[in-house]
Chain A
Amino acid sequence: MTMTDTDTVPAATATDVRRVKKGQFRAARGLLAPAVLFLVLLTQIPFLVTIGFSLVKWNLLYPQDRGFTGLDNYATALTSGALGPSILATVLITALSVILSVLFGLLFALLLDRPFRGRALARTLMITPFLVMPAAAALIWKYSMFDTNIGILNWVSRSLHLPVLAWSTDHPLLTVVTVLTWQFTPFMMLILLAGLQGQDKGILEAAQVDGAGTWRTFTWITLPHLRMYVEIGVLLGAVIILQVFDPIAILTKGTGGTKTLAYLLYERAFIGLDVGEAAAYGVVTVILTIIVATVALRTLFKVFMAGGSR
């Protein structure tokens, strides 16, 4: 929804504008063009170089043996058997973390949007996990929360006479998702809070005056208004979590069904030192991401928002 059909919006206005301010607009384009150009260059050069690398046989262990191999790297990547489980791990981890952090983020954003005693403190606390360095966050979870002997989770289990678990080996997927959700909930909250703050208060008051209850105001006015922000949050969150590396490297090292595409890629490039193959995995990842982002998310939102819009 957000990607294509928006092009038509300014089209109607363009004729007036052209009539009124032709010269100024030309000047503005002169100013904006460098920004857009710079952006395209910075974001595209690495990607194009990556595509180039993916067509080259290039293992850093054998620097002499380097040359064009066509699609060989892709053949290796697709037939090695590592790709399938990796896609599954990526999809599971990304989907679970994104869904959980959007739900929690929405909840907190709604709670924090209302004035209450201690709100400033609560908001500051809620945002802090996002401010902690990702590697430090993963470390603290690994050693003080999940650790079998000295971790707090097991301390709680023991106190409640529940079985003690070695979290990161017994439930690797769960530990990764927990840490990611902890970290990304503030991110979602921030975007959704911006959406809530941008809501027209007059409409809310009008709805209340017309006798709409809290729940109906929420589902009929706030949720449709937030739709765009939820979409943005999900899309950006998914894209970022898809590439997440630190928590996996620190918590599980890709064991137990947590070897995501990003981690696999890292393994091929920095442990296997096979630049060509890693690049091929990278290109496959990009293609998969684009497919997921365009197809799956749209379907999801149609289902999710079917009842909400007027």
Chain B
Amino acid sequence: MSTTATPVGSVDEAPEPSRRRGRRRLAHGAEAASHRSPAMTVAGYVGMLLVVLVVAVPLFWIVVTSLKHRQDIYVQPAQWLPDPATTNNYHDVTTRIPFLRYLRNSVIITVVLSLTKIVLGVLSAYALSLLRFPGRGVVFVVVIAALMVPNQITVISNYALVAQLGWRNTFQGIIIPLAGVAFGTFLMRNQFLSLPTEIIEAARLDGAGPLKLLWRVVLPMSWPTLVAFSLITVVNEWNEYLWPFLMSDDERTAPLPVGLTLLQNNDGVTNWGPVMAGTVLAMLPVLVLFLVLQRQMIKGLTAGAVKS
């Protein structure tokens, strides 16, 4: 199984029908690892195609709706393609609300929160998995318990606290209560614990201090999980709605999802075109981020120090 980042042309399902149930020993291990019967390959493609349809239709619909004229949105039977297509909705989104302000707020909130959460998550997971200190088990259970508190309820108590501090309509009011990171701590701790102890032992005996151990050995070996954690964190912060909605009244601090709801409420009836155009625009930055990160994710364990 190769780890090529760009699979274009690197198709490897060379059909080898003569092979007797794969029992014959092969000289080239790599070739054997990528073996799969043609029937399985076809089944794989068909399954993939079906699923892609289910996944793609709603997405397709979001994009198509964003390009339709208002009167074309509610017609029966549904129009599959906008006729004629229009960019009015996009124009609407960027002019009817201060789109760039909301975008700026979203970027500030997401960048600060994600960085905080990733650093906190990695450090605390490292402390809770590979370092020893009294009360470690208790701390872990306490952090995990926090995962299970429904945020509808923490919102109430957080609101009471933040409003008393006079932090409504400030970035710290939005950011600090969201900075607790139980999810990442849990994910990264389990990842760290799954690493082979011999390697960590060896690095320690070679004189690597704890932070060097984390940076040079533990993190490179946990790369795919770290990227997954980072991506999930960024997306969640980017789409965070309830808390910023309660915390901010206007474009001074409100992020995009809050801004987009204003489009919906502007004229009483829901006007789908601009809402969908806004959804597409809001999704683009995280999509680009994913495109950048997906290469990192499949880089896998290429970064040295892995062979035991």
User: Chain A: residues with CB nearer than 8 A to chain B?
Assistant: 2-4, 6-7, 9-11, 13-14, 16-17, 20-21, 24-25, 27-29, 31-33, 35-36, 38-40, 42-47, 49-50, 53, 104, 107-108, 111, 113-120, 122-137, 139-141, 143-145, 149-150, 152, 155, 182, 185, 187, 190-191, 193-195, 197-198, 200-201, 204-206, 208-209, 211, 213-214, 228, 232, 235-236, 239, 242-243, 245-246, 261-262, 265-266, 269, 275, 278-279, 281-282, 285-286, 289-290, 293
Contact = CB atoms under 8 A, between A and B. Distances in A.
Contacts of A195: 224-225
B292 to A, nearest CB: 11
A152 B61 contact: yes
B48 to A, nearest CB: 6
Nearest to A11: B132
A139 B62 CA distance: 10
Contact of B149 (A27, A31, A38, A47): A47
Interface stretch (B86-94, B97-105, B123-131, B166-174): B123-131
Given A45-B161, A107-B47, A214-B40, A279 B153 contact: yes
A13 B200 CA distance: 10
B136 to A, nearest CB: 7
A197 B8 contact: no
A118 B301 CA distance: 23
A10 B13 CA distance: 43
Contact of B142 (A21, A40, A128, A262): A40
Given A122-B48, A150-B74, A209-B25, A198 B300 contact: yes
Given A36-B127, A187-B232, A43 B283 contact: no
A20 B205 contact: yes
Contacts of A279: 153, 156-157
Given A25-B209, A136-B279, A209-B32, 17 more contacts: A10-B130, A13-B204, A25-B131, A31-B211, A36-B123, A39-B120, A43-B149, A115-B11, A132-B62, A133-B241, A137-B58, A149-B76, A182-B54, A198-B222, A208-B22, A211-B24, A282-B150
B126 to A, nearest CB: 7
A227 to B, nearest CB: 10
Given A131-B283, A132-B59, A228-B190, A194 B145 contact: no
A145 B53 CA distance: 13
B24 to A, nearest CB: 8
A28 B201 contact: no
19 contacts: A10-B131, A10-B132, A21-B210, A25-B210, A32-B131, A47-B149, A111-B48, A114-B12, A115-B7, A115-B34, A118-B7, A120-B294, A136-B62, A150-B76, A152-B78, A193-B297, A213-B22, A265-B150, A286-B150
Interface string B51-73: 11011111101100100000000
A36 B32 contact: no
A256 B96 CA distance: 38
A182 B58 contact: yes
Interface in B1-60: 1-4, 6-13, 21-26, 29-30, 32-37, 40, 44-45, 47-48, 51-52, 54-59
B262 interface: no
A241 B279 CA distance: 22
A64 B279 CA distance: 43
Contacts of B151: 243
A198 B272 CA distance: 42
A132 B56 contact: no
Contacts of A281: 153
Given A36-B124, A42-B176, A50 B26 contact: no
A42 B180 contact: yes
A42 B179 contact: yes
A11 B132 CA distance: 8
A115 B205 contact: no
